[in-house]
């Protein structure tokens, strides 16, 4: 709990969301490179379940259920008592475990190192994949032009 | 009467072994991987996720492989798997106005802010078989341009100021969930939308087409169609705040429908809504048309007796797993039922013959 910037709710929301959305193939190589593996005990070992996704009629109106998505969750506690939660999309228990450990470490003095070696590069990869699609979409934007006809002076 | 109900185990086992062999096909041809199906048959994967009502591309790809490409069988597998999952909760409503759009078009507003973005569409292709695909080859990289960084607003937002389009006021009423309680009639719009989004694409398409051909015509334009990724957010009780639990691809279609007004509503444009997992454009447009047709009562329109206005008819027949389950069960052994039918028909014929005979004798 040394670095206040990693302690606010908004940032914890950010890194947990990032870990949830990140493809396993992007997260795991970074996590493997980080190497440090603190001892922990399970509070809830990884379990696979479903979350019902909701939308709104017309995008803004009444809520309705679209369908479920798979989610894997787990909770653990480090030896110093820090609790980490993993809530990740899909059915990978190893990804959920990595997410929970990272969540815990981000609340300890290791936060800076974990941020620099895992969170920041992961964020970079996700952002670049997003920009890549947005760039391709932009290239398919229709540029209308008007054909001038009739008497032109 | 005794009817054997045992037997056939060996025949069944052997049938399944042969099924596995046929699924694999000729062994001198490479086996399909789940990743290949997920990456290269993406629209089939999307359909299985939408109608299987479970967003998980890898599972949908596995189901397609297992079902030999029979998508309804694949959807069946996903539905069966889904029932084994504990339900962690319900997400917050997805914010489709914050979608990272791959595609976003409007048939009604040429110059909508954000523009007409075609995305990876089949539209404007010539629908001629491309024999180049029969050969292996590198695909050239798609061109890129300066990406849009801001969110793309919904087109209906621009009409709201004029009060010329029906509003969709936000409501946080807990919607019914037909995976929890069976459908009852009369239903309501949230339940209808849940039923339609997981309904059979062919059925929903046929129903939508019937409205275009004149059975409760509702003059729909595609006000907006957008495809892209949205974050899914859920409140996590142990945290005390909400986090993103993932990101899904959705297709959203909003139709703008001509409406002359009714006993209860002024003349204005009304709306139909489609929202479907994955890139599922045809399904999403069809869903919006059927949604609009089913809204006749709340809009004070006449019931024209059209099939697409009959929610009991539409919703009771939209689910292809219910439909195929009932349809296909008649091929399974019905020996006992049929024996009694056989006895009955024989008896009726005997009686008919007996009635005929005295008459013939009298003549």
- State whether residue A141 sits within 8 Å of chain B by CB: yes
ipTM of predicted complex: 0.92
On whether residue A74 sits in a domain, the answer given is yes
On whether residue A153 sits in a domain, the answer given is no
Which residues of chain B from 304 to 363 reach within 8 Å of chain A, CB to CB?
A: none
Nearest to B289 by CA among B258, B255, B251, B252: B255
Task: Look up the domain containing A110 and give its range.
Answer: 8-51+65-132
Residue B186: asked if its preceding bond is cis (omega within 30°), the reply is: yes
Would the pLDDT of B271 be above 60?
A: yes
Would the pLDDT of A1 be above 70?
A: no
Q: What radius of gyration do chain A's Cα atoms show?
A: 21
Q: In the prediction, which pLDDT does A3 show?
A: 45
The CA-based diameter of chain B, rounded to the nearest angstrom, is: 98
A108 DSSP assignment:
S
Instruction: Show the tokens assigned to A134.
Output: 């947005």
Contact A135 B147 (CB under 8 A): yes
For helices B189-197 and B281-294, the axis angle rounded to 10 degrees is: 150
- State whether residue A92 sits within 8 Å of chain B by CB: no
Contact A56 B86 (CB under 8 A): no
Q: How far apart are CA B340 and CA B346, in angstroms?
A: 10
**Could you tell me how far CA B85 lies from the centroid of its own chain?**
21
On whether residue A144 sits in a domain, the answer given is no
Q: How far apart are CA B143 and CA B230, in angstroms?
A: 24
On whether residue A99 sits in a domain, the answer given is yes
On whether residue A103 sits in a domain, the answer given is yes
Which residues of chain B from 80 to 139 reach within 8 Å of chain A, CB to CB?
A: 82, 85-94, 96-97, 100-103, 110-111, 115-121
Question: Closest approach of chain A CAs to the CA of B141, in angstroms?
Answer: 10
For residue B193, what is the nearest residue in chain A, using CA coordinates? A64
Could you read off the pLDDT of B188-225 as tens digits, one per residue? 999 999 999 999 999 999 999 999 999 998 889 999 99
Would the pLDDT of B1 be above 60?
A: no
- Annotated domain spans of chain B: 9-82, 96-119+151-169+178-324
Give the CA distances from residue B253 to residues B105, B272, B275, in Å, rounded to whole numbers and listed in that order: 10, 8, 6
On whether residue A143 sits in a domain, the answer given is no
Burial A20-40 (b: 16+ CB within 10 A, else e): bbbbbeebeebbeebeeeeeb
End-to-end Cα distance, chain B = 40
On whether residue A58 sits in a domain, the answer given is no
Residue B235, CA atoms < 13 Å, CB-side half-sphere: 5
Predicted TM-score (pTM) above 0.90:
yes
Q: In the prediction, which pLDDT does A2 show?
A: 42
Which residues face A141 on adjacent strands? B117
How many distinct structural domains can be found in chain A?
A: 1
A8 DSSP assignment:
S
Q: Within 10 Å of residue B58's Cβ, how many Cβ atoms? A: 16
Chain A residues lying within 8 Å of B53, measured CB to CB: 67-68
Q: How far apart are CA A34 and CA A116, in angstroms?
A: 10
For residue B96, what is the nearest residue in chain A, using CA coordinates? A59
Which residues of chain A from 40 to 79 reach within 8 Å of chain B, CB to CB?
A: 47-71, 73, 75
The alpha carbon dihedral of B94, A138, B118, B42 has a sign of negative
Burial B77-106 (b: 16+ CB within 10 A, else e): bbbebbeebeebebbbbbbbeebbbbbbbb
For residue B58, what is the nearest residue in chain A, using CA coordinates? A90
Q: Within 10 Å of residue A75's Cβ, how many Cβ atoms? A: 20
Could you read off the pLDDT of B96-109 as tens digits, one per residue? 999 999 999 999 88
Could you read off the pLDDT of A90-111 as tens digits, one per residue? 999 999 999 999 999 999 999 9
- State whether residue B193 sits within 8 Å of chain A by CB: yes
On whether residue A117 sits in a domain, the answer given is yes
Q: How far apart are CA B86 and CA A51, in angstroms?
A: 9
pLDDT (mean) for B19-29 = 97
Q: In the prediction, which pLDDT does B167 show?
A: 85
């Amino acid at each position: 709990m040394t670095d206040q910037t990693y302690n606010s709710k908004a940032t914890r929301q950010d890194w947990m969301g990032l870990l949830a959305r990140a493809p396993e193939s992007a997260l795991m190589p970074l996590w493997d490179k980080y190497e440090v593996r603190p001892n922990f005990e399970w509070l809830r070992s990884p379990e696979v379940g479903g979350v019902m996704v909701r939308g709104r009629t017309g995008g803004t109106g009444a809520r309705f259920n679209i369908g479920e998505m798979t989610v894997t969750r787990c909770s653990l506690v480090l030896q110093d008592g820090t609790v980490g939660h993993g809530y990740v999309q899909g059915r990978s228990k190893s990804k959920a475990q990595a997410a929970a450990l990272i969540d815990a470490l981000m609340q300890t003095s290791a936060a800076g190192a974990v941020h620099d070696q895992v969170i920041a590069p992961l964020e970079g990869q996700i952002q670049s994949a997003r920009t890549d699609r947005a760039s391709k979409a932009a290239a398919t934007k229709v540029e209308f032009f008007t054909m001038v006809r009739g008497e032109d002076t | 009467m005794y009817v054997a109900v045992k037997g056939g185990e060996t025949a069944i086992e052997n049938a399944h072994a042969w099924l596995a062999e046929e699924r694999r096909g000729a062994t001198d041809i490479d086996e399909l991987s789940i990743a290949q199906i997920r990456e290269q048959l993406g629209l089939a994967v999307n359909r299985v996720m939408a109608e299987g009502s479970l967003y998980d591309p890898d599972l949908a790809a596995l189901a397609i492989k297992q079902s030999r490409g029979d998508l309804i069988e694949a959807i069946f597998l996903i539905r069966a798997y889904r029932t084994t999952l504990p339900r962690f909760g319900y997400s917050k409503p997805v914010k489709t106005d914050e979608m990272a759009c791959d595609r976003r078009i409007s048939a009604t507003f040429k110059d909508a802010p954000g523009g007409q973005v075609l995305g990876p569409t089949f539209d404007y292709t010539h629908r001629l078989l491309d024999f180049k695909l029969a050969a292996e080859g590198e695909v050239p990289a798609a061109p890129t341009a300066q990406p849009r960084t801001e969110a793309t607003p919904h087109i209906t937002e621009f009409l709201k100021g004029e009060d010329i389009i029906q509003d969709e006021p936000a409501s946080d009423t807990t919607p019914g969930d037909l995976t929890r309680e069976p459908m009852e009639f009369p239903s309501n719009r949230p339940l209808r939308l849940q039923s339609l989004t997981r309904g059979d694409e062919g059925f929903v398409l046929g129903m939508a087409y019937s409205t275009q051909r004149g059975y409760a015509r509702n003059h729909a334009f595609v006000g907006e169609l957008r495809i892209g990724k949205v974050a899914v957010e859920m409140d996590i009780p142990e945290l005390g705040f909400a986090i993103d639990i993932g990101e899904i691809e959705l297709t959203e279609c909003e139709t703008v429908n001509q409406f002359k007004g009714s006993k209860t509503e002024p003349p204005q444009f009304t709306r139909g809504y489609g929202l479907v997992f994955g890139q599922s454009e045809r399904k999403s447009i069809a869903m919006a048309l059927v949604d609009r047709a089913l809204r006749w009562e709340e809009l004070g329109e006449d019931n024209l007796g059209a099939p697409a206005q009959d929610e009991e008819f539409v919703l009771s027949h939209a689910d292809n797993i219910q439909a195929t389950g009932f349809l296909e069960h008649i091929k399974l052994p019905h020996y006992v039922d049929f024996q009694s039918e056989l006895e009955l028909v024989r008896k009726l014929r005997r009686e008919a013959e007996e009635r005929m005979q005295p008459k013939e004798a009298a003549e």
